[in-house]
């Protein structure tokens, strides 16, 4: 996201800018027996030396900084990390700030790039900061549209001024937080802003989005909501404004169909564990309202604690042993796919741990098994083209995971920006029932290694599985379809997109007889699909005369339904002829006013 210049909004003013393919018992047993046979081969081969098992647990590394209330000079340490990371948008440093349960007074934790701050209690209220966790945009002259890759989680805050400032863009989740006051989502001066995501949080006061173009809030409680610019979406939020799209642009669902909160690291006495929250159905409000949330704890000794420099072979050995996986902060180069083959495996990253394929492999593959949890890491495309960065389930996956789905939470992908990157599809989801809860898949529009073919990436997200749910889907700038949905009974609650800025001309994006590839394409074969609160923007600044026939494309079938769609031309740099298929008004001129469709068909 790198929005073009627009007039900043003043305070309180609207800113201008699932065929279940059931596997047969024979197929399931066959796969299981094959896996068992493979696992037994080393034990049955005479003369084979057996390597010692890899140990679980261990040191979290130098870039995990742990505080308790008696730690001296906490503010100085926070300030030092911020100085290093404030404008370090494409650097390799990564930090995780962990606060043990207790009360901390007079702190202002300013967060820069690749910095995550978390409490180590089982609930947010176990760790209270009488002070602030702040994101602002002074580094970028008050423009918050590039405040990516940072997070806050599992803390209670009592802001000094009454309102905490969280002026973020994409890939900056605010999870399991309790703000004993209000939350201001705009930068100082109410400059440009393009976020964002809140989940499982309680904001006692009001949330003021001010200049924020779009926002998604899930399974939370808020004291109020201040305004809306283009696309404000709520599901399962107590205190959310009523459904009024497009004016104000509020899309409100009383509950979230299926959700499961992100796993998190915590302290049980002096022992580190990972808490894995339970799945919720038709959820509303926070998961921790009645104290200890429902779920399971896994000791850190059941995790392989990975450090930068660990090979993919070592990581795969650990996973094959039955260990879960914790990535400590840093950049991990892999020359083979990380294979997550065991049901219920947790793969958790700290401090925006980043995985980059070096030789065109798929960085991570997940088997068609129950209950894998992927959370908290960034996939960065390498300089040789990968077919995918992440594959969830092999092609043809067909097992029923409805009782225990795989989930992706705060799993992000980047193509270019930190250097030339190439991938055909950022993430492919083949497994049924997968939950995609907050992702930003970004083909870079700025930084290094950026160009129409230099960081080529045709597709952001391809969904082949049935009954997949996306909550908080951000996908931007891909060369063809940003999202291509082929599975049945899919659902998306909130979608934010910008089409590629750098298309050189109309011919470069011609899609047969259609001008441009839709931001969100539902395959013609699909019979049932539904989406709420979806927006696409264009900013064809290289070739402003480009016309995009529509932002959204779907088959005209009664089971395919959309609610609250919008398209926007940013400053007249390219235009949309329609919103969805041949429905909805064109964008016009330089006014940067959304064209909307409230219901389709």
Known catalytic residues?
498
Closest CA to 164 of 127, 118, 215, 205: 205
Q: Which residues contact 197 (CB under 8 A, 6 or more apart)?
A: 172, 173, 174, 215, 216, 217, 218, 438, 472
- State the alpha helices, DSSP H only, in 15-123: 25-44, 74-85
Name the token pair of 487: 């599975």
E strands, 148-211, are 150-153, 156-157, 163-165, 174-175, 178-179, 182-184, 197-199, 202-208
Name the token pair of 132: 């602030």
> Cα–Cα distance between 353 and 116 in angstroms, integer?
10
Per-position DSSP letters for 514-531, written without gaps between them: EES--SEEE-TT---EEE
Per-position DSSP letters for 558-578, written without gaps between them: TTEEEEEEEEEESTTSSEEEE
Q: Are strands 271-277 and 295-299 parallel, antiparallel or unpaired?
A: antiparallel
> Cα–Cα distance between 154 and 156 in angstroms, integer?
7
Q: Per DSSP, what are the bridge partners of residue 599?
A: 563
> Cα–Cα distance between 193 and 211 in angstroms, integer?
6
> Cα–Cα distance between 82 and 85 in angstroms, integer?
5
Assess whether the previous peptide bond of 246 is cis (omega < 30° from 0).
Answer: yes
Classify residue 122 by its DSSP letter: S
> Cα–Cα distance between 283 and 346 in angstroms, integer?
22
Residue for token pair 């070592």: 314
> Cα–Cα distance between 375 and 409 in angstroms, integer?
5
Provide the CA 226 distance to its chain's centre, in angstroms.
Answer: 24
> Cα–Cα distance between 44 and 341 in angstroms, integer?
22
């Amino acid at each position: 996201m790198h929005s073009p210049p627009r007039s900043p909004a003043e305070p309180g003013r609207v800113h201008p800018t699932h065929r279940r393919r059931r596997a047969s018992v024979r197929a399931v047993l066959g796969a299981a027996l094959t896996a068992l046979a493979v696992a037994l081969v080393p034990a049955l081969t005479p003369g084979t030396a057996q390597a010692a098992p890899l140990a679980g647990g261990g040191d979290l590394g130098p870039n995990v900084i742990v505080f308790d209330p008696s730690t001296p000079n906490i503010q100085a340490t926070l300030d030092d990390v911020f100085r290093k990371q404030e404008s370090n948008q494409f650097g390799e440093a990564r930090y995780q700030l962990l606060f043990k349960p207790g009360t901390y007074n007079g702190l202002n934790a300013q967060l820069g790039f690749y910095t995550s701050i978390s409490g180590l209690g089982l609930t947010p209220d176990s760790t209270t900061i009488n002070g602030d966790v702040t994101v602002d945009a002074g580094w970028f002259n008050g423009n918050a549209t590039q405040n990516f890759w940072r997070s806050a989680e599992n803390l209670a805050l009592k802001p000094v001024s009454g309102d905490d400032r969280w002026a973020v863009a994409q890939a900056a989740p605010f999870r399991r937080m309790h703000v004993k006051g209000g939350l201001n989502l705009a930068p100082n001066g109410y400059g440009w802003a393009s976020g964002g995501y809140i989940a499982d949080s309680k904001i006692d006061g009001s949330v003021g989005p001010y200049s924020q173009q779009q926002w998604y809030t899930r399974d939370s409680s808020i004291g109020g909501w201040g305004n809306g610019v283009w696309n404000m979406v709520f599901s399962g939020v107590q205190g959310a404004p009523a459904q009024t799209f497009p004016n104000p642009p509020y899309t409100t669902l009383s509950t979230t169909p299926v959700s499961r909160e992100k796993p998190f690291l915590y302290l049980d006495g002096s022992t580190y564990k990972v808490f894995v929250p339970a799945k919720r159905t038709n959820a509303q409000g926070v998961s921790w309202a009645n104290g200890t949330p429902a779920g399971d704890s896994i000791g850190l000794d059941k995790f392989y604690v990975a450090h930068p420099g660990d090979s993919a072979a070592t990581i795969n050995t650990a996973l094959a042993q039955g260990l879960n996986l914790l990535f400590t902060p840093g950049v991990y180069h892999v020359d083979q796919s990380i294979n997550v083959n065991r049901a219920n495996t947790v793969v958790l990253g700290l401090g925006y741990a980043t995985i980059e394929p070096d030789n065109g492999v798929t960085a991570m593959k997940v088997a068609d098994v129950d209950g894998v949890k992927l959370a908290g890491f960034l996939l960065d495309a390498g300089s040789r083209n990968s077919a995918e960065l992440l594959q969830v389930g092999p092609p043809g996956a067909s097992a029923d995971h409805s009782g225990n789905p795989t989930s992706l939470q705060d799993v992000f992908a980047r193509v270019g920006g930190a250097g030339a990157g190439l991938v055909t599809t950022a993430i492919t989801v083949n497994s049924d029932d997968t939950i995609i809860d907050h992702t930003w898949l970004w083909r870079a529009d700025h930084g290094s290694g950026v160009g129409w073919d230099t960081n080529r990436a045709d597709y952001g997200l391809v969904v082949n599985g049935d009954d997949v749910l996306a909550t908080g889907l951000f996908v931007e700038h891909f060369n063809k379809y940003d999202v291509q949905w082929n599975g049945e009974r899919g659902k998306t609650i909130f979608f934010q997109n910008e089409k590629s800025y750098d298309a050189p001309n109309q011919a470069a994006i011609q899609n047969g007889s259609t001008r441009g590839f839709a931001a969100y394409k539902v395959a013609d074969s699909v019979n049932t699909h539904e989406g709420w609160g979806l927006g696409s923007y264009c900013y064809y600044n290289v070739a402003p005369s480009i016309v995009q026939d529509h932002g959204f494309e779907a088959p005209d079938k009664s089971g395919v339904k959309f609610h609250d769609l919008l398209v926007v031309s940013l400053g007249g740099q390219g235009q949309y002829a329609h919103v969805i298929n041949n429905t909805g008004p064109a964008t016009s001129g330089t006014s940067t006013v959304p064209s909307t469709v409230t219901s389709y068909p």
